[in-house]
Amino acid sequence: MSGSLRSIAYAAVLCIICSLLLTAASSGLQPFQERNVLLDRRRNILAAAGLIQEERRLSAADIEALYTRHIRPLRVDPLGRVLPAAEGAGSALPFYLVVQEENRPEGYIVPIDAKGLWGPINAYLAFGSDGATVKGFTVYRHAETPGLGGEIEKKWFRDNWVGKKIVTRQGKFVSVGVAKGRVDEMVPPDKREHYVDGISGATLTGKYLAAGIRDTLNQYEPVAVKFRKNLAHELEGALAPR
C-alpha cells in the first residue's frame, strides 16, 4: 500500500513540476509566437493577392512594407456598408482591399473560416476587381493530416484556385466547389470554372473547406456586388484618412 501511495505522490509531484515548466515556456514565449503568427498572416495575405513570389524569402521588414503599401484592412456590416474601426464588433465582416498606387482598389481578400476534418481551417481567398474571379488562395492555419488533407496548403492545390469564378455567366452566386478527383474528368465542361481539383484521400477535408468557403463568401456577397457593379470607389472613400 505504501508503495502505491508513493507512486501516486511521485506522479503528482512530477505532474506539477512538468506543468509549471510548460506554463513558463508557453507564456514566456508567447509574445514571440504572436509576432510570428501576425507576420505569417500578412505574408499569406500578400501571397493570396499575388504580391509576393513563393520562392523568395522576404524579411519581416519587407513584408511589413509591402503590407502597408498594398493592403487596406476594412470592415463592413452585413449590408456591405463600411464601418469605422471601432463600431459593430459583433456582426462586422473584416476583409482586405488590395490597392496599387493612389489607393485604387484592384481587388479584395476575404478571410475564410472553414470547418476542417480535425480542426478549423483558416485561409485567404483573393478576388480580382470584377468581384468574381479568384486571384489566389492561401491556407495559414489547419490541423489536417499531412499528405492527405494537409495538401490544402501545398502549391499545387493553391494554384488550382486561380482563375475560378464564384458567379455563373448569368450572375448567380455559386461559390467554388472542390471536385471529387480531377475537375476535367469529374465535372461537366460548363461547370469547370466553379470547381477545383480535389485531393485524393481527403474527400471530407475538401467538402468541409468548400462548405466553409461557400458560407463565408455568401456573407461577403454585398462586397463582391460592389466590385461587380464597379462601385468599388465607395469602399475606397473609407480609405482616405489613413
Partner 1 sequence: MNGVFAKPWSAVKRSPSFKEIVQALWKANPVSKQILGICSALAVTVQLQTAIVMGAALTLVVAFSNLIVSLLRAGIPRNIRIIVQVAVIATLVIIADEFLKAFMYDVSKQLSVFVGLIITNCIVLGRTEAYAMNNPPLRSFVDGLANGLGYASVLVGVAFLRELLGSGRLFGYAVVPEVLYQAGYVNNGLLVLAPGAFIMIGLFVWLEHSLLEKK
Q: Which of 12, 16, 36, 69 binds partner 1 (CB under 8 A)?
A: 36
Q: Which of 16, 33, 120, 182 binds partner 1 (CB under 8 A)?
A: 33
Residue closer to partner 1, measured from CB, 56 or 242: 56
Residue closer to partner 1, measured from CB, 7 or 219: 7
86: cell is 471601432
Interaction of residue 237 with partner 1, rule CB under 8 A: no
Residues 98 and 105: beta-carbon distance below 8 Å: yes
Piece of the chain touching partner 1 by CB under 8 A; list 36-44, 61-69, 90-98, 215-223 = 36-44
Tell me the closest approach of the beta carbon of residue 77 to partner 1, in angstroms.
34
Interaction of residue 26 with partner 1, rule CB under 8 A: yes
Distance, in Å, from the CA atom of 196 to the CA atom of 177, rounded to the nearest integer, reads 6
Interaction of residue 147 with partner 1, rule CB under 8 A: yes
Beta-carbon neighbour count of residue 5 at 10 Å? 9
Give me the residues paired with residue 165 across strands.
Answer: 133
Interaction of residue 14 with partner 1, rule CB under 8 A: yes
Contacts of residue 198, Cβ cutoff 8 Å, sequence gap at least 6: 178, 179, 180, 181, 182, 186, 206
Contacts of residue 148, Cβ cutoff 8 Å, sequence gap at least 6: 199, 201, 202, 205
* String of contacts with partner 1 for each residue 53-92, x by CB under 8 A: ----x-----------------------------------
Distance, in Å, from the CA atom of 152 to the CA atom of 44, rounded to the nearest integer, reads 14
Interaction of residue 146 with partner 1, rule CB under 8 A: yes
Determine the angle formed by the axes of helices 221-228 and 203-219, rounding to 10 degrees.
70
Residue closer to partner 1, measured from CB, 11 or 231: 11
Interaction of residue 12 with partner 1, rule CB under 8 A: no
Cα of 160 vs its chain's centroid, Å: 15
Site for partner 1 in 197-236 (CB under 8 A): none
Interaction of residue 4 with partner 1, rule CB under 8 A: yes
Find, among 150, 161, 84, 92, the residue nearest to 128 by Cα: 161
Note the residues at the interface with partner 1 (CB under 8 A).
Answer: 3-4, 6-7, 10-11, 14-15, 18, 21-22, 25-26, 29, 32-33, 36-37, 39-40, 57, 146-147, 150
